[in-house]
A and B are shown apart, each in its own frame.
Chain A
């Protein structure tokens, strides 16, 4: 090692260039990293459905939950920014941009859903000032409206049927009110800025919401923001909390502006058969306020008083 000839450093360095790891280890390493990234997106708690889905009432509860997730995610992005980060966070510019917006609209695409979960693609309009939301399915079979104060309206145009859900207590339910209250107590470090991505050739900033945060509620969530306008351009949600597979939803085609307050009316349209349900306590079942008349038996003979 005293001179170059004794210890040919360059020769040893060049030898390293010929060393190759086993091909299977290369692939394994790449796969491991890919898996780590996938887990970051889809990390969520395992949960099995506790109810059967054949009941229309339960179906509606599930549908309401899914719709609420979609509405909450997109409709509350701005609130997340306002409440969790302040001026010091990476979202400061986005906060400023969203502060002047009153309404936003976007389309919802269900990329993947478990068999037992009915999640429909459609369009959403969210009124940021009141947390009102309106979802219309693409196939025209369903309209969901929430006024942000615990009352939701489900319309089924084909059946001319309207179902109104009254939540006197929003705690524990997917309502905007409880969601916003909890957001204010969230840990500000639950959102992480990732590297920039490109969407349709346009550079965007990407933020990941911690799945363990109340806001994400176990779902993996990525929020893409236009660096020029600082407004969301795409939100990706993935969760397996419903069991039976992954539910993946993408919110895109965002637009911001004014919207008609009548869109968020929870008054059933004329000509619809209306059902009203009330839930006083989140742990208790829904109670129908206007029970339908008992069905008349076939062949029943009217009494003498009729």
Chain B
């Protein structure tokens, strides 16, 4: 387990952090993740332990988002490129929107949020995901599209009535 931690720990921590936006929570979840992996038979028998660990990390991170009671830290990470911070107001709006997206993903289907996270946030190609999920790239593309449609629908439902055009 320790070699796995050395090799893939930073990657998994980044993944958790990108979903939680909370350094302290990410650290806690990282520890939970490895303790669970260390006693997991499925992880031990997995063809690709990293893929299994990544899915487990996503599950923990989105689970945390669903259960958290306090708002996550909205402050963008320190090393976000400056061109992504046009103004404090835009930054805040973007942060709120991103939080909304992540919150909606937390209630998305497990596979849907995994695919969206791995493809768009972790920037994994359809080919790589196809191998991981034992499907064709075309199927993965279709599943991603379907998850995206579901996500937008969820966002619309979660939006303020004014944003939905229900209020004048």
Residues of A within 8 A of B (CB): 1-2, 4, 6-7, 9-10, 12-22, 25-30, 32-34, 36-37, 192-197
Contact = CB atoms under 8 A, between A and B. Distances in A.
Contacts, number: 122
B141 interface: no
Which 7 A-B residue pairs are closest in the complex by CB-CB distance?
A: A13-B120, A30-B9, A1-B159, A21-B17, A1-B163, A196-B44, A16-B121
B51 to A, nearest CB: 15
Contacts of B1: 37, 194-195, 197
B40 A195 contact: yes
A236 to B, nearest CB: 13
Interface of B: 1-2, 5-6, 9-10, 13-14, 17-18, 21, 23, 26-27, 30-31, 34-35, 37-41, 43-44, 76-81, 84, 94, 97-98, 101-102, 116, 120-123, 148, 151-152, 155-156, 159, 163-165
Contacts of A37: 1-2, 5, 34, 38
B133 to A, nearest CB: 19
Residue of A18, A19, A197 ringed by the most chain B CB atoms within 10 A: A19
Given A18-B84, A195-B37, A195-B44, A1 B156 contact: yes
A72 B76 CA distance: 55
Contacts of A7: 97, 152, 155
A197 B98 CA distance: 40
Contact of A14 (B120, B148, B159): B120
A19 B77 contact: yes
A30 B101 contact: no
A36 B155 contact: no
A206 to B, nearest CB: 9
Given A18-B84, A195-B43, A30 B17 contact: no
A192 to B, nearest CB: 6
B41 to A, nearest CB: 8
Contacts of B44: 195-196
Contacts of A17: 18, 120-123
Nearest to B21: A19
B25 to A, nearest CB: 11
A30 B6 CA distance: 7
